[in-house]
Chains A and B, each alone.
Chain A
């Protein structure tokens, strides 16, 4: 492997089985230097298990883990230069902030003057210069978070692993910490591997995201890619809000797939995963709310792009007003609710519950995947 050194972290076909349970199943990843990589998946999909293998707390059943191009399978956890921010932070409550940060430096036999200097430096970087002598229980949630990161960063790790570190914080703090984490990563310019089940955390902060499901990676890509060009039904359904129908293919040509949904709707899709589903295959169809336009008439051709359009008729069930992000819920003939973005101006031509409307969306925004 000559090109290995440009990746801070590589996992090569890593698996971990607990008895018959495949917690992590043949996962490969490569993380370039200095990037922010997230692993996003529902809880129980094996994220923590994967991270613990990287840190060395679990042995891989198969596969190899490389840090800076060198296999670390035979390196004990305390000799690996990956540091970990634990889910509940695991700060040492019997030590103050200074001692917590100094612990790792002392383990590495850094002398007293150098320890003092590096602690002062790292505390300044996380914008908490005056807390060195505080006890852990005197810190707020966000401060503890930053100390936990500082405790790792002071050791100059090759990779920093973060296991759902924002899970314990309240909503408002979580929003603030998201941005702060991203800034910290920029400042330290270290590779961050961030685990979360919260898609907005992953999308906001990451350079690249891996979508994980039942021990496997479904797709790896930039947040935009995952959102706009999902490759599997799971990714399409998990990342971002979406409307979903299940149905059956009735006709295909090279470009498009014609589908009849279980609710009796006929849709034409232009987007699908690597291969188009064959005739009479059962499929899932996804359309994001922001691509559906509620209107008084059906449109056949999109005015702007010239694309052909899917449409359906329904009755407005309710309006979910949220300023610019307002949504409308429309009930179709079979009783299913469809979500669409609307602009509510407060004027007289706004739609109201009970009115019947047409929903139009272009075929290019209709995605289908074999299910």
Chain B
């Protein structure tokens, strides 16, 4: 009796969570998989086949776009890590108590503004008649106006800017948990700054590094607005292909297949990353 009540209350407690998982995450994905496996053979007539996936493999432009999205996302992740790590280290270990809250807030501020507005901010800066171009002309470095938008560099800069916070937060929380005396012990036992960084600080921060990288990579590979707005028509971002299939061509079957492929691809990259760094999902993302 007592046991039944306990079990019932457990079930009731988990109901909202389970509903959320099933209705908003599991069901749409199952639907998408089913959809992606259908081929239109005549108006309103469908049959199950791998047609959509075969089409993806046969058309180089599709998988090239996916690979490109993957590699630029990796690059963005690496850049975010290289920039975010020193910032996080400064916030967690070097800054005083008050500075540190201020700095953290500064990192959060961009989140209060919508993605769209932030992208337009970059457009204002980088376009041909924008501030950067104007400044360079004013100082005499440039002779005539120059377009800084619509290239890969602009996309990368914009993406790093949008996602870096998600790198900094988990890094700060892991580095913050590190006892200062551990770093001092590293020096005391004869290590120089580089050794201490390589052998003590980075291994200690590894869970945070991996967690940050996973989140940033997923966010970047799945982002839509920034690559489109800053990269223009030929940014060749994979989410753009998906959008194209769903909205422009009204080809939901192939759009679903692409969506599923993106999910599978990013999951594969994350899995590889975890294997290579010797971490597990539970020791990283779940922890920070």
Task: Name A's B-contacting residues (CB within 8 A).
Answer: 55, 57, 76-79, 82-84, 86-88, 90, 92-95, 103-104, 107-108, 151-152, 155
Contacts and interface: CB of A to CB of B under 8 A. Distances in A.
Given A87-B181, A88-B179, A88-B181, A107 B188 contact: no
A85 B46 CA distance: 73
B199 A78 contact: no
Nearest to B189: A104
Given A86-B181, A87-B181, A107-B195, A92 B200 contact: yes
Contacts of B190: 78-79, 104, 107-108, 155
Contacts of A84: 184-185, 188
A77 B184 contact: yes
A55 B183 CA distance: 13
B224 interface: no
B186 to A, nearest CB: 8
Contact of B184 (A82, A90, A155): A90
Closest 8 CB pairs of A and B: A104-B189, A107-B190, A90-B185, A90-B181, A86-B181, A94-B203, A78-B187, A107-B191
B192 interface: yes
Given A77-B187, A103-B199, A92 B182 contact: yes
B208 to A, nearest CB: 12
Central interface residue in B182, B204, B206, by most chain A CB within 10 Å = B182
Interface of B: 179, 181-182, 184-192, 195, 199-200, 203-204, 206
A190 B199 CA distance: 28
B56 to A, nearest CB: 42
A51 to B, nearest CB: 11
B286 to A, nearest CB: 18
Central interface residue in A76, A90, A152, by most chain B CB within 10 Å = A90
A78 B187 CA distance: 5
Nearest to B182: A90
B206 A94 contact: yes
Given A88-B181, A90-B182, A55 B188 contact: yes
Contacts of B206: 94
B191 A103 contact: yes
Given A88-B179, A155-B189, 20 more contacts: A55-B184, A57-B184, A57-B187, A77-B188, A78-B187, A78-B191, A82-B188, A83-B189, A84-B185, A84-B188, A86-B184, A90-B179, A90-B182, A90-B185, A92-B186, A95-B203, A103-B186, A104-B189, A107-B191, A108-B190
B206 to A, nearest CB: 7
A158 B182 CA distance: 21
Nearest to A82: B188
B209 to A, nearest CB: 12
B218 to A, nearest CB: 25
Contacts of B184: 55, 57, 77, 84, 86, 90
A357 B195 CA distance: 70
Contacts of A92: 182, 185-186, 200, 203-204
A77 B186 CA distance: 10
Contacts of A77: 184, 187-188
A83 to B, nearest CB: 6
A76 B187 CA distance: 9
Contacts of A95: 203
Nearest to B195: A107
A2 B127 CA distance: 74
A99 B179 CA distance: 19
27 contacts: A55-B184, A57-B184, A77-B184, A78-B190, A78-B192, A82-B188, A84-B185, A84-B188, A86-B184, A87-B181, A88-B181, A90-B179, A92-B182, A92-B185, A92-B200, A92-B203, A92-B204, A93-B204, A94-B204, A94-B206, A103-B189, A103-B199, A104-B190, A104-B191, A107-B189, A107-B195, A155-B190
A90 B181 CA distance: 6
Nearest to A83: B188
B288 to A, nearest CB: 15
Contacts of B191: 78, 103-104, 107
A87 B181 CA distance: 9
Contacts of B203: 92, 94-95
A58 to B, nearest CB: 11
Contacts of A57: 184, 187
A66 B167 CA distance: 45
A107 B199 CA distance: 10
Contacts of A55: 184, 188
Given A78-B192, A94-B203, A86 B187 contact: no
Central interface residue in B189, B192, B195, by most chain A CB within 10 Å = B189
A94 B192 CA distance: 19
Nearest to A93: B204
Contacts of A82: 188
A146 to B, nearest CB: 16
A149 to B, nearest CB: 13
Nearest to B203: A94
Contacts of B195: 107
Nearest to B202: A94
Central interface residue in A76, A104, A107, by most chain B CB within 10 Å = A107
B188 A78 contact: yes
Contacts of A152: 189
A92 B191 CA distance: 13
B227 to A, nearest CB: 37
Nearest to A79: B190
Nearest to B200: A92
A152 B188 CA distance: 9
